[in-house]
Structure 1
């Protein structure tokens, strides 16, 4: 799924200020990654909560996240185009295929109650259901897949920094959340972790769970497929690049 206002793979040109713009993108990537992996999933978070309270921490973290996101996207859109391997036309058919599971994971993950989501730890007492049977981090897995698909397809330095940042934050973030839940919840976390997996279908393949498509709900499937179709149709007019091979 595309991120709004991102000109993925469009040649970005610039003179004079090019180096400073690339530096801004790198700094934004470091800030965004550090915020989500160096604060949210570590004991530093506990210290900040002690100082500010839970509400204060959530407010400060949300504000910093918005600032980091806006900075990252703006810096990427302004970055000078420096080619690496160049845009890969042969990758586009594969990207179209891979973006279907990415869209399903993101949309269904966003709309499914999950003990790994913010303030939903109380659901640990309930058995995993729906997409959580497939992966306990569906949204982050979908974002990570989206980022990797675009990282490969967009062969320039700015895209490498931008999409690598999203891939690292999403995929390493899933591991970070697991560690945080284990540290804070202890034994209450272990049964849920044993029945589920980070890697999609790993727990199902190991016989620790089973796939129940009906639990996901027709409306979630419908919204996810609609979002995928919308992405294909809207990618060229919104992002500026056709997802289909020339």
Structure 2
């Protein structure tokens, strides 16, 4: 569990710089330059991500079951995850209505993904992993919206073409992950047997 927690602290800590130390980030970015900052950011994030994956795998070898969620929560989680995939795709597709309306769809996608998994899973490692991501997403979204208001930031208007591309890519990515990649990479098949 310690490896998982260390990974979360490193990964989410790096992704929380704009939440808790935006002025420091701005000054450091100006001092180092964009490429060195992004390089350091990516390297630290990668180290944290590897530790999360490794730590979660270790924690799953000796699971601590906290409760037994109802089966319907797994189905509800599938819907949350479908919406999460769509919102994450919306962060990258230009001129879609999700991004125009919500402003920070990726963070909202992470929030839905984490919340859905908290409903559907019941082990201590799950609570630590998904709880940490949910807390981060709540704080990140609040900070981002506060920055938007302070700067008077507005986004591009959404268009039907961008919205349709977002929906199609989001659903296809979700289906590929739910019916194949989740079992292959994580060992749990959301709609079938667990590996």
Q: C-alpha distance in 2, partners of 1:231/1:55?
A: 32
Q: Match of 1:240?
A: 187
In structure 1, runs of 5+ residues without a counterpart are 1-21, 114-128, 197-208
The structure-2 alpha-carbon separation of the partners of 1:215 and 1:63, relative to structure 1 and needing over 3 Å to count, comes to same
Q: Residues 20-43 of structure 1: CA distance to partner in whole angstroms, max 9, x if unpaired? A: xx1222222222222221x23422
CA contact (8 A) 1:112 1:131 kept: no
TM-score by length of 2: 0.81
> Where is the helix percentage greater, Structure 1 or Structure 2?
2
How far apart are the structure 2 equivalents of 1:49 and 1:236? 39
Which residue number corresponds to residue 27 of structure 2? Answer: 47
Looking at structure 2, the residues matched to 213 and 167 of structure 1 have their Cα atoms a distance apart, in angstroms, of 30
Question: Quick check: 1:111–1:220 contact (8 Å CA) kept in 2?
Answer: yes
Q: 1:32 to 1:232 in 2, by over 3 A?
A: closer
Aligned length: 188
Q: CA deviation at 1:222?
A: 1.9
1:45 positional shift: 0.9
Residue 96 of structure 1 aligns with which residue? 78
Note the residue ranges of structure 2 that are not aligned, 5 or more in a row: none
Aligned to 1:23: 2
Alignment correspondent of 1:147: 114
Task: Verify: 1:133 aligned to 2:100, yes or no.
Answer: yes
What is aligned with 1:158? 125
Residues 1:192 and 2:154 aligned together: yes
Per the TM alignment, residue 164 of structure 1 is displaced from its structure 2 partner at its CA by: 1.5
Cα drift, residue 172 of structure 1: 1.7
State the distance in 2 between where 1:29 and 1:191 align: 30
76-85 vs 218-227, which moves further: 218-227
Q: Secondary structure at the match of 2:103?
A: coil
Q: Which has the higher contact order (CA 8 A, sep 6+)?
A: 1
State the match for 1:3 in structure 2. none
- Per-residue deviation at 1:56? 2.1
Per the TM alignment, residue 245 of structure 1 is displaced from its structure 2 partner at its CA by 7.8
Deviation, structure 1 residue 213: 6.4
Distance 1:228 1:55 in 2: 32
For 1:78-97, list aligned pairs within 5 A: 78-79=58-59, 80-86=62-68, 88-97=70-79
Deviation, 1:176, is 2.6
Work out which of the two has the higher radius of gyration on C-alpha atoms and give 1 or 2. 1
The alpha carbon displacement at 1:50 in A equals 4.3
Distance 1:153 1:242 in 2: 13
Match of 1:220 in 2: 166
Q: CA deviation at 1:171?
A: 2.9
